[in-house]
Structure 1
Amino acid sequence: MTQSTGKRLLHYALTAKKTFLAALLLLSIGVAAELAGPFIAKNMIDNHMLAIERPYHVTSSPEQAVLYNGTYYKRGDRFEAGETKGQEVRVLQEGRSFYFINEAVTQPDGERNFSNGQLSIQRGGETLVYPAVKLSAEELFTFYKPELPGIYELVGLYAIFLVISILAEFGKTYWLQSSANQVIRKLRTDVYAHIQRLPVHFFDNLPAGKVVSRVTNDTEAIKDLFIAVLSNFSTGIINLIGVYIALFLLNVRLGLISLFIVPILILWIVLYRKIATKYNTIIRSRLSEINAIINESIQGMSIIRIFRRQKQSLAEFEQLNDDYLKYQNKMLNLNAFTSHNLVNSLRSLSFVMVLWYFGLGSLDGTTFVSLGVLYAFVDVLSRLFQPITGMVNQLANLDSSMVSAGRVFTLMDEPGEPVTDDSMPRYKGMVEFNDVSFAYKKDFVLNDINFQAHSGETVALVGHTGSGKSSIINLLFRFYDPQRGSITIDGQKVTDIPKQWLRNHMGIVLQDPYLFTGTILSNVTLGDERITRERAERALREVGADKLLSHLPQGFDEPVVEKGSTLSAGQRQLISFARALAFDPAILILDEATASIDTETESVIQEALEVLKKGRTTFIIAHRLSTIRSADQILVLHRGEIVERGSHQELMTLGGRYFRMYQLQVGASAEEGQNSSMLASPASAPSL
């Protein structure tokens, strides 16, 4: 049973856990430093800016004291233990002015009013009146002077926390993105490595463009998950925790009231993902199909133009593109409806709750808090919605990334072939098929195939299209395994040999050889360290490639573009011959290697074939009967069965299916001449 997408992503994230943890640590430090700001502001407001309304006492010491009208006054909370406090006085604000009251004030809170040298304070039904003197700006500043050192300290502390926050943000961003890049590199490598292990039949029904889309587009979307989504969500969660800690430190009841945001946010995310996942699944699927059709169109561009299929091809592309746009717009509508609406609604609701709490509570005095606490609470509460906005805005990326991750892991869950690093000694190459029957799906394409190919022999497979020639080769390479019967090499069942070991001593030359981007030499060595430059050059010369490639400016180092499109068919074929020769396989498969070669080049190819076949068991899939005249045995297939077998002369004498195939190629008159020559003197029979 496969793990959930989230658990598998976590498993990959743990491959870079050190940098992830470092990033989260710096994130926590940055959040703490940032949230220290409101507490510093609260301290500045309550303990310094508004603290001059606290009780003052007459003192004889000028330290931290205010000199007013020839007398020193010090704030009551600044007297040291044992220090004598004199008469209490107060400085209270009414409107924009401050007033000096030369006596104790028992009830400073309430509605204040100054008139005729008296300050009245009314609270409830009681009014208290105190003689008061208005302070000038200079006298007021005298009372603020002792507060300035504390204010400067707090400003300096705020600047330190700001620098810490900036450095932590930089470190968090760098390490988070660095670890995300590491994770995606590993994931992409694992996906590509798994593709190399997938059985060949997997690609029969999956277009190359869709595979490419999963390796590139889908892994890139997962990268957004680790960089943007993880960054915002981890930042958001840590910020939320920090904000709620700050809210509870400021006021427990207000902190409890503010908790209503959490379940709403969780519910919103769950509902959003249910809808968004449907849309994103279709969006990623359409993107894969678009990549597939683009890839197919580029591969078949010549056919599209020859048969004037541009309009039809464009119409197919537009249909997919329009469907892609349709669901992109649905996602756009969903995001536009949810993200800002959610945050604005929560912000408005939370401030309504705070106003309700303070408004009702202030009528009976049960919820009175200082201005500093109120300022800090509103500041902290405002900061609560920054991480929420960040998380909500990343919901689209989150869901898109999870859908992409699911597609990637679905591909990785496809059963692959086991990979073994070791190898086996080069086998002799005696191949035997014993009662082999095989079906790709339901209908059998091979029925009771029996034959032996001795080491060093050349076996030709002939027959009309669909007769089963390629299926025999596919079974020999173990791209598929037969449903019935067995295949042995040197007496050992191929199913008992690891596929990599088996193929290590096999080579193939295709009708249309595939060349990779690089050079002629790199297409011979394929980057294998065992194949030296000298060995590769010798193989090219032995198959006669130097004759057809001598005119190239850089010789064997001539650049090769994708598929070798700048080279002729004969040049590409000789390079593939040299590749097979350099790897020295025990078993060689030639898939009609001369079918697309001109007559002039064919003689060079035939010479190369003779060099290539020496000392190895060779299977030839042949359409040109002239290319198999020297085969040790020819197997004639029809509808998945071997209907004739023997050498060329034996089959011609038999006059069966092979004889008729020959007639179709060479012509009845030439066949009659050759038949009479063969009957008169079989040894002098002309080559086919």
Structure 2
Amino acid sequence: MSSNRVATKSSTGKRLFQYAMIYKKPIILALTLLLLAASAELAGPFIAKRMIDRHILGVEQKWHEVAGKQDHAVEYRNKWYKREDYFKAGETLGPESRVLQVGKSFYFLNGPLASEKGERKVEDGKLMVVDPNTAATTAYPVAKLSKEELFRFYKPEIPGILKLGLLYLGLLLLVGLFTYGQQRLLQFSANRIVQRMRQDVFAHTQRLPVKYYDNLAAGQVVSRITNDTETIRELYVQVLAQFVNGIVYMIAVISALFMLNVRLALIALPIVPILFLWVILYRRFAVDFNRILRSKLSEINAMINESIQGMTIIQAFRRQKETMQEFDEMNDFHYKYQNKLLNLNSMTSHNLVNTIRNLLFTLVVWLFWGDNLGSAVTVGLLYAFIDYMNRMFSPIVGVVNQLSTLETARVSAERVFTLMDEEGTEVATGKIDRYKGEVIFKDVTFAYKEKEYVLKRVSFAASQGETVALVGHTGSGKSSILNLLFRFYDTNEGTIVVDGKDVRDIPKQHLRQHMGIVLQDPFLFTGTIASNVSLDNPEISREQVIQALKDVGAYDMFMQLPGGIDEPVIEKGSTLSAGQRQLISFARALAYNPAILILDEATASIDTETEAIIQQALDVLKRGRTTFVIAHRLSTIRQADQILVLDHGEIVERGNHDELLEQRGKYYAMYQLQQGTMLTAQP
């Protein structure tokens, strides 16, 4: 793995931790509740061990005759007996007796048992015990206990069993409460973290320069803001809880096992390094699969987004089959790697965990069967060991099953942070006074791609209140001039000056504060006609919105709609005509009262009648405002103060309409062609 990849992963993990620390109090509280829940739950096997060894199997311990009825004493055949572990220190022990189980029956032995080991069987009222070392048989006279007699020996243990049962029930209730609180707090924290992350990444998309989006599809950006951040949420909800739970359980269980039996604990100890290696091997393969899957999912989202936006063209040109084929190829590629990840998860999932667990149980049973661990291993101890191992393997299964989510979340976080690491421009606060709008271009050279210049040493000046028209063939550099004026891009060479100040010394937000633009393809947001004019700017009153619509001659037109200027506008204003959308866009620019107004083919989508209305409004609105107009229809710029004719990024002609016609150059040829007249050859 390259050093860059390692650095990226380290940075990603660190930044995920930093986001978590924003809400560290609920997270720490949640993890504390998780620790309490684990501690309460892990007390269960200790309770079960005591219940089995002391209260259930404890009946086979030594019993001693006592003088009469007393606490924990049992009457049998007119004599009273008490178990040895209930005698107080220094208390005299009477003759010894035993209660022994053989098969499903219990027998009373009036006397001591020479050896605890050996196979037992009862024949003709005698207990036969075969010594495992010498094969010698020892016989003991015994009496079979009836159910009523056996119950008497168990009766003193019932209060203890009930107390332990109630204690265990109480612990289960505490576990439930702690788990509920832990999950709720983690869910809350995760939702707030992802909410904050989405706010940050979306805010950063507003700071990114326009050129960043030239090579990145909108669907890919959307995927990072929505899908990738949602995947990160699972990291804080599921993965964090499972990993902390697994670590706590492993530490607690191994500690408990050492308290129970050191040799049993040593048998379970190798599980820790095995799990660690397991995680390393899994991540080695899973990270690449997840990176490919997340990238391909973004491409699919981008393709779907593009298809929906271009559905009219797709259907008009009968490209449904080809579009579907392209989607199928991307979908099949995603399916292929999804299956690769599925196979990896299947091989390293809980089935493998269960296999390891069963092998471990087999080893312990074999050792216990061979009695290699000694007589210290009681049934209760063995039960507690198996219970603890089950409790430890359960969170291990959870950890293993969350490895896929972990890697998916890390890759998603890496993609989100890569977007956030793109260099952006901080949003400038405050306002600047409205500038006059005097614009000067000085030897401006610019290229979108290195050495592919679209503007070459362009120079011109526009005074306050002037209208400057830019004309030329497609690709001549008209829109590039306006992109530079708005500082969507910066010049490679030369300077652009507004009111005597280099635009690079003016924050972009301040520069654009007093600029308005109307594009050839107007963009409308979901809302109303009025909200699309004001863009919900609280500084633009409803009266200003109405006045702007009146100035462009659109107010009466929109008031005829059912909702008037509050008529709903759906996405991109698809229910409005092209002319209506353009009028809203034009009113929007005017409502902001710009010092510099830019019209980029603003009348291209408007019919002749509507264009005439706008032209009348422009005569009033141009006063005191510098206006730049890009137009292919030369009839709309006849009144411009100066017209710049561009060709391959250079200004080849300049002047007003009449002056350019007199020159009989490119402008003259373009005008004559549009007017449908024949060009007159010049001597």
Shorter-chain TM-score tier: over 0.9
Whole-Å Cα distance in 2 between the matches of residues 638 and 33 of structure 1?
81
The one of 443, 464, 483 equivalent to 1:474 is: 483
The one of 164, 167, 172 equivalent to 1:157 is: 167
Matched with 1:40 is 47
> 1:463-502 residue pairs with structure 2 within 5 A?
463-502=472-511
Deviation at 1:66, TM superposition (A): 1.1
Matched with 2:258 is 248
Matched with 1:74 is 82
**Contact preservation (8 Å) 2:190, 2:236:** yes
Code of the aligned partner of 1:579: R
> 1:119-518 residue pairs with structure 2 within 5 A?
119-123=127-131, 124-125=133-134, 127-360=137-370, 362=371, 366=374, 368-442=376-450, 443-518=452-527
Matched with 2:4 is none
> Could you tell me the TM-score, scaled by structure 2's length?
0.94
Comparing 660-669 and 45-54, the one that deviates more: 660-669
Deviation at 1:497, TM superposition (A): 0.9
Matched with 2:3 is none
Whole-Å Cα distance in 2 between the matches of residues 540 and 122 of structure 1?
109
Whole-Å Cα distance in 1 between the matches of residues 364 and 616 of structure 2?
93
**Partner deviation per Cα, 1:550-590 (whole Å, 9 max, x = no partner):** 21011010000111111112211221121111111111111
1:650–1:107 Cα change, 3 Å? same
> 1:70-109 residue pairs with structure 2 within 5 A?
70-109=78-117
**Partner deviation per Cα, 1:642-681 (whole Å, 9 max, x = no partner):** 1111111221222222111111111336x88xx9xxxxxx
Whole-Å Cα distance in 2 between the matches of residues 611 and 200 of structure 1?
32
**Partner deviation per Cα, 1:516-541 (whole Å, 9 max, x = no partner):** 00000110111211112222122212
Deviation at 1:232, TM superposition (A): 2.4
**Contact preservation (8 Å) 1:94, 1:112:** yes
Matched with 2:636 is 627
Q: Per the alignment, in what secondary structure is the counterpart of residue 236 of structure 2?
A: helix
Whole-Å Cα distance in 2 between the matches of residues 505 and 311 of structure 1?
48
**Contact preservation (8 Å) 1:247, 1:381:** no
Whole-Å Cα distance in 2 between the matches of residues 577 and 379 of structure 1?
75
Whole-Å Cα distance in 1 between the matches of residues 405 and 620 of structure 2?
59
Code of the aligned partner of 1:642: I
Code of the aligned partner of 2:23: A
Code of the aligned partner of 1:558: E
Code of the aligned partner of 1:77: D
Comparing 124-133 and 534-543, the one that deviates more: 124-133
Q: Per the alignment, in what secondary structure is the counterpart of residue 417 of structure 1?
A: coil
Comparing 122-131 and 411-420, the one that deviates more: 122-131
Q: Which runs of 5+ in 2 are unaligned?
A: 1-6
Deviation at 1:106, TM superposition (A): 4.5
Matched with 1:29 is 36
Deviation at 1:290, TM superposition (A): 1.3
Question: Are positions 1:541 and 2:550 aligned together?
Answer: yes
Whole-Å Cα distance in 2 between the matches of residues 188 and 612 of structure 1?
41
> 1:637-648 residue pairs with structure 2 within 5 A?
637-648=646-657
Q: Per the alignment, in what secondary structure is the counterpart of residue 50 of structure 1?
A: helix
**Contact preservation (8 Å) 2:75, 2:152:** yes
Whole-Å Cα distance in 2 between the matches of residues 591 and 546 of structure 1?
23
Whole-Å Cα distance in 2 between the matches of residues 353 and 133 of structure 1?
38
**Partner deviation per Cα, 1:203-254 (whole Å, 9 max, x = no partner):** 1111111111111121122222222322322222222222222222221111
> Could you tell me the TM-score, scaled by structure 1's length?
0.94
Question: Are positions 1:18 and 2:19 aligned together?
Answer: no
Question: Are positions 1:560 and 2:569 aligned together?
Answer: yes
Whole-Å Cα distance in 2 between the matches of residues 357 and 9 of structure 1?
46
Deviation at 1:48, TM superposition (A): 0.7
Whole-Å Cα distance in 2 between the matches of residues 87 and 316 of structure 1?
92
Whole-Å Cα distance in 2 between the matches of residues 84 and 263 of structure 1?
53
Whole-Å Cα distance in 1 between the matches of residues 291 and 620 of structure 2?
54
**Partner deviation per Cα, 1:164-184 (whole Å, 9 max, x = no partner):** 112222222222212111111
Q: Per the alignment, in what secondary structure is the counterpart of residue 349 of structure 2?
A: helix
Q: Per the alignment, in what secondary structure is the counterpart of residue 71 of structure 2?
A: coil
Deviation at 1:69, TM superposition (A): 2.1
Q: How many residues align?
A: 670
Comparing 405-414 and 391-400, the one that deviates more: 391-400
Q: Which runs of 5+ in 1 are unaligned?
A: 676-688
**Contact preservation (8 Å) 1:577, 1:608:** no
Whole-Å Cα distance in 2 between the matches of residues 367 and 143 of structure 1?
24
Comparing 101-110 and 210-219, the one that deviates more: 101-110
Whole-Å Cα distance in 1 between the matches of residues 295 and 46 of structure 2?
51
The one of 30, 42, 49 equivalent to 2:56 is: 49
Code of the aligned partner of 1:323: F
**Partner deviation per Cα, 1:305-342 (whole Å, 9 max, x = no partner):** 22221221111111111111111122222222221442
What is the RMSD computed on CA atoms of the aligned residues?
A: 1.9
Deviation at 1:603, TM superposition (A): 1.0
Deviation at 1:278, TM superposition (A): 2.0
Code of the aligned partner of 2:403: L
Q: Per the alignment, in what secondary structure is the counterpart of residue 590 of structure 1?
A: strand
Deviation at 1:635, TM superposition (A): 1.2
Whole-Å Cα distance in 2 between the matches of residues 371 and 304 of structure 1?
74
Whole-Å Cα distance in 1 between the matches of residues 154 and 366 of structure 2?
34
1:415–1:67 Cα change, 3 Å? same
Deviation at 1:128, TM superposition (A): 4.4
**Contact preservation (8 Å) 1:30, 1:168:** yes
Comparing 292-301 and 602-611, the one that deviates more: 602-611
**Contact preservation (8 Å) 1:577, 1:612:** no
Whole-Å Cα distance in 1 between the matches of residues 149 and 426 of structure 2?
89
